[in-house]
Structure 1
Amino acid sequence: MVGRDEKLAGKEKQVVKRLEKTLVRQQTSEEREKGQNDSKMKEMILSSSSDEEDTDNGDDDTVSCKAGPTQEKIQRGRKAVIPPELATTLDRIKMSDRKAMFIISETAKSLGHNITDFTLNCDSIHRLRMKHQSVQSAALKAKFQDNIPLVIHWNGKLIAYLTSKEQVEQPIIVSGKGVFQLLTVAKLTSGTGEAQAPAVYSAIEDWCITENIRAMCFDTTSSNTGRLAGTCVLLEQKIGKERLSLACRHHVMELFIGAAFEVCLGSTSAPQVQIFTGFQPYWMFV
């Protein structure tokens, strides 16, 4: 009555095309399986015929054996080519396992080595790098000075992860007299106190320095300073003792400067203040 629905017709054509493609894939897979089965049957017939010929040509007292083609086994290389120093260098320049494999193989060729003698694949290089990282981490923890008062530092801002949609918390660090050590970079899904406090506590527990933490350094966001669900309160509950709160001096001064600005020039909600933007290009002449 009203004519043909072009959108519906287009959708129907797409459905028909998808069905045709599915049928073609099924036919090709069936033909491939049929060909593989035929080849297996031919091999079985040939092997059985060769066995019969062997039994006919051989003596009655001998035991017949199946004759098959001898295939040489490919020997895999067993020499590791990722010493700790090289693994540290690869991590420092942030080189992937695949690129490292290409560079190491070409370097070995140019030096006259046979690369089949080495374990050169992405998985082996990744395992060796992880092994060296765990060894270095254990050595750092063993040499760490745990007999001095320490301050734990963290930040409430999240940095986007490079290879997925996860979020990565900024580094968790401890400092003290002659000590400045990175503990970990915790992966978090949010910047709330409930997510940050367990990560910070897990880091100090892993390094066995819970009793040495005397103060906490943080930014003045509500996720850190909240009196009920802030990271500081939750961390003190996990430690079982109160600790000195050392809020970031830059964030603290922002509060004082903001209050002084509001008294002198009044409150504003604009992201840029006109008096400052006009003064900024003139600053070079002052």
Structure 2
Amino acid sequence: MAKEGVLIFVPHDILKSKELVSYSVRNNISTTQLNTIVYSFVSACGRDTSKLNLSARTTHRYRASIMSELSLKNKDDWHPSDKVLVHWDGKLMDTLDSISTDDHLPILVSGDNSTKLVGVPPLPHSNQKGDPHKGDVISTATKQLLMDWKCEENVVEMLFDTTPSNTAQKAGACVSLKKELGRALFWFACQRHVGEVILSACWDCLKMEGSSGPTIMLFKRECSVAGVALGRKYASDVRI
């Protein structure tokens, strides 16, 4: 019995395929890896690979063009919910030289139907703690992206961490964004950071160890002691 197969036509510019480009980007496949996959597939089918355009530079140009088209289509096809929440959180990221870092601001909006990453704009990096101008920069970048995605009128809530650049009474990002949009917004502070603020106030009042990072040594020591005690109890129960 003869084995059945499928006869397909592979065009010379197969790497222009939107489906192929979208799949490779979602799965973090580089242009070189994509060329290798297509070359191996065509070669395994016993076909002439010289008729394909597998230049790395051409593949990169195809991908940049296709991704621009897909991003515009994605923006046009997306429709926000009637009421959405906007969430931002700054993140220091390594630059291409892996020596310095840049401050980026991921901004998301979420509603009844979906959560959408609307952009990750770069911000001017400042080494000054509690920079009074950072809140205005954050609110301006956030409003611009909301306008680009045509959802600025749908925003009713803000989700943020409790850093001074966000919560300052006069120049914080929350106050500035409220002024930019011209209406009141619900403040939804991150629960973890709210807990840190309350805990730091207790620490200051009791003149105990300050918290300068995610690990508080007092908690670490107490958890270690509790873990040892629980282990001993479990061991005694097993022996019984």
Greater RCO, CA 8 A, separation 6+:
2
Deviation at 1:232, TM superposition (A): 2.0
Q: Is the 8 A contact 1:156 1:224 kept in 2?
A: no
RMSD: 2.7
**Out of 221, 225, 230, which is 1:282 matched to?**
225
1:238 to 180, 186, 191: 180
Q: Where do residues 196-207 of structure 1 align in structure 2 (5 Å cutoff)?
A: 196-207=138-149
Note the C-alpha offset of 1:220. 0.8
Q: Indicate yes or no: 2:89 matched with 1:155.
A: yes
Residue 205 (structure 1) shift: 1.3
Decide which of 11, 29, 49 is 1:115's aligned counterpart: 49
Output aligned runs, 1:1-286, within 5 Å: 79-82=12-15, 83-162=17-96, 165=100, 167-190=102-125, 192-263=134-205, 265-269=206-210, 275-284=218-227, 285-286=229-230
How many pairs does the alignment contain?
208
Extract unaligned runs of 5+ from structure 2.
Answer: 1-10, 127-133, 231-240
- What is the aligned partner in structure 1 of residue 6 from structure 2? none
Structure number with greater Rg is 1
Q: For the residues of structure 2 that align with 1:253 and 1:107, how far apart are their CA atoms?
A: 55
1:274/1:85 CA distance change after superposition, 3 Å: closer
1-side partners of 2:13 and 2:103: how far apart?
33
The one-letter amino acid paired with 2:70 is Q
How big is the shift at 1:209? 0.6
Q: Secondary structure at the match of 2:29?
A: coil
Sort the Cα spacing of 1:111 and 1:166 in 2 relative to 1 into closer, same or farther, 3 A: farther
| Aligned AA (1:269) | G
1:149 shift after superposition: 0.6
Query: 1:43 maps to what in 2?
Result: none
More helix by percentage? 1
Contact kept in structure 2, 1:216 and 1:245, CA below 8 Å: yes
Q: Is the 8 A contact 2:81 2:112 kept in 1?
A: no
Note the C-alpha offset of 1:207: 0.7
Q: Distance in 2 between matches of 1:221 and 1:270?
A: 14
TM-aligned CA deviation for residue 162 of structure 1: 4.8
Instruction: Report the TM-score, using the length of structure 1 for normalisation.
Output: 0.63
